[in-house]
Each structure stands twice: as structure tokens, then as C-alpha cells.
Amino acid sequence: MYSENRKTEAKNLLPGATGDWELVIGLEVHAQVISKAKLFSGSPADFGGAPNDHVSFVDAAMPGMLPVINKKCVEQAIRTGLGLKAKINCKSVFDRKNYFYPDLPQGYQISQFKQPIVGEGQVQLDLEDGSSVTIGIERLHLEQDAGKSLHDKADGLSHVDLNRSGVALMEIVSYPDIRSIEEAKAYVSKLRSILRYLGTCDGNMDQGSMRADVNVSVRRPGAPFGTRCEIKNVNSIRFMGQAIAYEAARQIDILEDGGEILQETRLFDPNHGETRSMRSKEEAHDYRYFPDPDLPPLEFEQSWVDEIAATLPELPDEKKARFIKELGLSAYDADVLVSDREAADYYEAVADGVEAKAAANWVINEVFGRMNKMGLSFADIPVPPQANTAILRMVAVSEISGKIAKELFDIIWNEGGDPVKIVDERGLKQVSDTGALEKIIDELIAANPDKAAEVKQKPKMIGWFVGQVMQASKGKANPQMVNQILRKKLI
Ligand code: ADP
Ligand code: MG
């Protein structure tokens, strides 16, 4: 944890009219827990459904209903804490956070305040320039989500949908260690990636299952922290970047004009690309937190934590380190491959039995390239990893050329089938037969005597002939052999 001591690198300083400024950011991320039921009731926690379909008497706060903790949600919070290398508190307390809102029928949210289930942890960011920073996590606590007010269903009427009411959220609070927009984006991406690896949150920001409150302040380099503003409920990484940029510029303008930043809660309006004040510190809620009398303190044994720890998957940082150290991949390739657990699994299946670097290039360029172009997810890829392995193996032993490999991939993507059989049946094998190649080459030389003469002066011109041979052989000529024969005949 660096917090106030962490300096900003020169390239991340924001130039103002009167000198440079540092950007200071701290994020509170709300992540919806993957669980069948809600945090304190048995209603389904699924996204969607008709309004008020997933609502029990507990979620609707009927008098006399009592909350009962869902063990699965507790396990998910512990799992997440372990993934964030954080301290797990075997005793924590649920508090009531009191406020009035139409979509909060209890009149309070059950949350954790002074004693959260998870304490300090960390998230490592690998930045584009190859450097790494570690961002401190202050805490992770469990809390209930609220319902949703709908104001656009009927004229003059508002509706309330309580499907989300009581769904378990993890609030993950960072220290104000973040110093640039790039870092803020990298932090949210990394956190999302870790949660997905762990299977504790699906990270779908567009469905609201992950959203961030973004705290922003500016200061002169090395000065004490400035007053922050909190931008509520940002639900995309791109919007977060825009919101921070707008907010930093706004605060710098005010300070350079001799003004003062008022601590307030703001909202980002994506249509206008600006943040607007929602409420000032004076209007801030007094939540009057107190321990929920309906719930005893949450206590469990360290042995349960150890059991959960033993089931943790290999996480992105460790996977990346292994890909670099054991497979010899570049940091860049490893980053691309580990950002998503399914991507990493697919890659490892492809690389089983062929050269690791060749497999990485192939998967990143051919498979991911096409997936991204078509907007597909891994579940929709029609080519199983093993088909890629078979293609790469044929390339490695010069049985097919790189060009044919791509065509073959196309065929399998569209029609399916066994790559080895397809190569046999459609005669796609690379021509390494010297006699056959010499015949094509002799004909080309005879037809282009002027070009042949030119090659003697400018040996680089040989490329033209290689191209012609490849074309004449429909991409099947072995390029190394073509080169050799051409050199022998022309130079
Ligand atoms: P509160 O309880 O009022 O929300 P916290 O201390 O919990 O305040 O901080 C909330 C978030 O604000 C944390 O993520 C923290 O990192 C961030 N934060 C605190 N001070 C600053 C600051 N000066 N600039 C930017 N972010 C800050
Ligand atoms: Mg807070």
C-alpha cells in the first residue's frame, strides 16, 4: 500500500495553466456474487425474470420476516478475499445502514461496516509499458443489493421491481493508490479477470453485475491528498475513463482559479461526457449504522478458509509467470492469453504437443482475431483446440505451408472436419518434390527472361519469382525449397 506516498510518474502528470497536477483515484467496486439464492433469503439471484418474480417475504421486508445467511455467499466472499491475497476475518459483523428509498423496503440495507469479512489485500497491475504496480485493497464486505425503481413504464407512475433486492454484493474498496486513468482501467479489468477466474462474479458490467464508485481528487506533486469527489455507479470501463478525465479537468480548473473543491457525490452522464453534482457532503446521508439485531456475528473456523484455499484455481498472475518461465512466451503474449480463463485453457489445449510460441501466435492471431471480428465467445468457437494442434503439427513438419494452414483453418471453421483428412482428400500437402518444383520454375524462367537477367544484378528480385511459384502452385510449394532452387538456377 503506497497511498499518499505514491508519487506519479512524469508521464502521468496533468499539465495545468499554473503547473503540473497529480491525479489520485480510489475505487469502490460492487460485484454481484455468483450464487443460486440471495444473501439472506432463498429467492433466486438470477438476472432478468418478470418484475417481482424473484421476491420472497424477506426481500419484500414483510413484518416479522428474519434474514438467514446464505453459506454459499460467505464462501464466495472468502474465495474472493483469498484471490486478492487478503486477510480473512473469521469473525465479522452485519450492520444496518439506514436510509429511505422506495426500492429499499426494509428502510435499511444490511451491510458490513466496522468489521468486514475480508481485510487488506492487493491487486497487481501490469501496464502497457511493461511496468507493474500493486494497488492496495482496504477491505471487502458483503451487503445486500437494493431493488430498482422504474419511472418510464406508465405516465405519471413509478414502479418498483424487487428482483434484485437482497441479492448478495461484494463491495471491494481500494486504497487511493491509483494515479492515472490507465491504471484505473487496468485495475477494474484485472479485478474482473480475477473474479471470473474464481467464479465468484460474472463481471458483466452491462448487466450491472459489476459497477464502480470512482473517487477522484487532484494535488500538486507530493502534496497531501486533496478533497475528493465520488462518481457513483459507473458501469463501463470506457465511461470510467471519460468520467475521470472530465472530473480531473473540472477540479484543476476550480483550483487554478483559486477555488475550493467541495466533497460531493456526482453522477456521470455518458450522453454529454460530463459529471454532475448529485449531493454535497452536507446533504450526505447519516446512515446511523448499528449491528443488525436479527443476525448474530458471522463466525467460522480457519480450517474452512484453508479448505477453500485448497480449491483456488491458478490465477492470472501465476499463470502469466508460468507461461513466461516454462513456455518461453513474451510478457505481451502471456498477458493476452491469461486475461480470460477460457482463453488460457483453450491456448493450453492447443499448445499440447506443439511449440508453445507458435501456438501462442496462432491462437492470438487466427482464433482470437476471428472471434473478435465476429463478436463470438469461446462457447461459440466451432474449431476445437485439437484441430489447431493438428494444423500446427503439419506446419511444423513442413507438410503444409503457413498459407495453407490458414485456409485449412477457414475450412474447418466453416465446415468442420478432421484437418489431416482434409489435407489428404483435397491435395493440400506442400509440394516438396524437387522435380515438380523445378518444372514450374523452369517454365517461369523461360517465360520471363528479362526478369531472370535482372535477378543476377539485384538478388533481392528473387522474391518476385518466389511469389510467382507460390501462385502457380496455389500456395502449396515449399517456400524454402523454392528459394533454394531459384538461387541455384539464377544467381
Ligand atoms: P467513505 O467511507 O466516505 O466512502 P472511504 O475512506 O471509505 O470513505 O473511502 C472511499 C474511497 O475513496 C476509497 O476507495 C478510497 O480509496 C477513496 N479515497 C479516499 N480519499 C481519497 C482521495 N483524497 N482521493 C481519491 N480517492 C480517495
Ligand atoms: Mg465507502
Query: pLDDT for 456-483, tens place per residue?
Result: 888 888 989 999 988 888 888 888 888 8
Q: Which ligand is nearest to the CA of 22?
A: 1
Residue located nearest, by CA, to atom 6 of ligand 1: 175
Predicted TM-score (pTM) of this structure: 0.89
Per-residue pLDDT reduced to its tens digit, 170-210: 999 999 999 999 999 999 999 999 999 999 999 999 989 99
Number of the ligand 1 atom closest to the C-alpha atom of 216: 25
The upper half-sphere exposure of residue 19, i.e. CA atoms within 13 Å in the direction of its Cβ, equals 6
Q: Which ligand is nearest to the CA of 281?
A: 1
Domain ranges for the chain = 10-308, 316-425, 434-490
Name the amino acid, one letter, at 3.
S
Cα(355)–Cα(422) distance, integer angstroms: 23
Residue 155 pLDDT: 81
Cα(179)–Cα(208) distance, integer angstroms: 25
Residue 2 pLDDT: 61
3-state secondary structure 56-88: CCCCCCCCCCCCCCCHHHHHHHHHHHHHCCCCE
Q: Is residue 113 within 6 Å of ligand 1 at its C-beta?
A: no
Number of the ligand 1 atom closest to the C-alpha atom of 225: 23
Cα(106)–Cα(229) distance, integer angstroms: 29
Cα(449)–Cα(128) distance, integer angstroms: 51
Are 337 and 347 in contact by the 8 Å Cβ rule? The answer is: yes
Q: Is residue 265 within 6 Å of ligand 1 at its C-beta?
A: no
CATH number of 434-490: 1.10.10.410
Q: Is residue 24 within 6 Å of ligand 1 at its C-beta?
A: yes
As a whole number of Å, the CA-based R_g of the chain is: 30
Residue 413 pLDDT: 95
Per-residue pLDDT reduced to its tens digit, 19-57: 999 999 999 999 999 999 999 999 999 988 899 999 999
Number of the ligand 1 atom closest to the C-alpha atom of 173: 14
Number of the ligand 1 atom closest to the C-alpha atom of 26: 16
Cα(40)–Cα(434) distance, integer angstroms: 75
| Best mutation site among 1, 216, 228, 286 for ligand 1 pocket (most ligand atoms within 8 Å of CB) | 228
Number of the ligand 1 atom closest to the C-alpha atom of 215: 26
Q: Is residue 175 within 6 Å of ligand 1 at its C-beta?
A: yes
Q: Which ligand is nearest to the CA of 135?
A: 1
Q: Is residue 116 within 6 Å of ligand 1 at its C-beta?
A: no
Which residues fall within 8 angstroms of residue 410, CB to CB, at 6 or more apart? none
| Positions of the chain with pLDDT lower than 50, given as ranges | none
Residue 93 CA to ligand 2 center (angstroms) comes to 16
Residue 470 pLDDT: 87
Q: Is residue 26 within 6 Å of ligand 1 at its C-beta?
A: yes
Q: Is residue 176 within 6 Å of ligand 1 at its C-beta?
A: yes
